[in-house]
Amino acid sequence: MDGEDKNKLTRDDFALNRRFMVETQIKPRGISDKRILEVMEEIPRHLFVDKKYWPSAYADHPLPIGEEQTISQPYIVALMTEKLDLSGREKVLEIGTGSGYQTAILSKLAKEVYTVERFGGLALNAKTVHAKLGLENIFYKTGDGSLGWAEFAPFDRIIITAASPDAPVGLFNQLGENGCMLVPVGARFSQVLTRITKDSKGQMIQEGICGCVFVPLIGDNGWKGDFNA
């Protein structure tokens, strides 16, 4: 066996890395929903990043995915999923498909996921991995997700995986009654992960969860301009 083969990670190595990720990064930070822990242990996160990142695919930080965008830190994916409070019956809108990793987690825990990405190449990569994993309840759109996806509204849940300068009212309008939306809100390099609930009178109730740093939501109802970093 040459040096390259000896260093090659096997299916078992990845499964072990996933278990280690859940035990050391997710559970100790307070995520206790059994279904989320199981799905985090099941979905092969390494398939959503370039092969050169496979050795660090389960590490405690974001990774590059091309187009100057990132796959989020595993804990943030778990936290956002938990705060969506999914029962399995929901129609979810995700803005910012990125690698498609969060989408895959959501597809296992909700009825349908509608996901929008502004970069066609990222959307295509995500779709390819989802097909390989046999995920069939995901619907894709390439375009400006800050406008939502009116054709399929209302949604039970909305998750925005890019930072918005303010609570996005246009997206809130596509949320169903008693639905909730998760969105990082704030300045360009520092935001508060915010849960926005629509009560039975259609009022907006906002709750800050934690500080975070996301890439910007670029679009008509997000940050204007063409910066991607």
- Residue 25 interacting with ligand SAM (CB under 6 A): no
Cβ 219 to ligand SAM shortest distance, Å? 3
Backbone Cα Rg of the chain: 17
Binding residue (CB under 6 A) for ligand SAM from 17, 25, 81, 99? 99
Binding residue (CB under 6 A) for ligand SAM from 58, 119, 140, 172? 119
* 226: its two tokens: 């063409």
The SS3 of residue 138 is strand
Angle (CA) 30 33 35, round 5°:
140
Query: How far is the C-alpha of 177 from the C-alpha of 221, rounded, in Å?
Result: 22
Q: Would residue 32 show up in a list of annotated catalytic residues for this protein?
A: no
C-alpha distances in angstroms, 35 versus 1, 13, 114, 172?
A: 40, 22, 21, 27
Q: Which amino acid is at 70?
A: T
- Residue 168 interacting with ligand SAM (CB under 6 A): no
Size of the site for ligand SAM (CB under 6 A): 27
**Closest by Cα among 87, 131, 86, 138 to 115:** 138
Query: How far is the C-alpha of 176 from the C-alpha of 173, rounded, in Å?
Result: 8
Binding residue (CB under 6 A) for ligand SAM from 161, 164, 174, 191? 161
Would you give the DSSP letter of residue 30? T
Of the ranges 52-60, 106-114, 128-136, 209-217, which one interacts with ligand SAM (CB under 6 A)? 209-217
- Residue 71 interacting with ligand SAM (CB under 6 A): yes
Binding residue (CB under 6 A) for ligand SAM from 17, 25, 72, 125? 72
- Residue 110 interacting with ligand SAM (CB under 6 A): no
- Which are the catalytic amino acids? 72
- The residues that touch ligand SAM, with contacts defined as CB under 6 A, are 65, 69-72, 95-96, 98-99, 101-102, 116-119, 122, 144-146, 161-162, 214-215, 217-219, 222
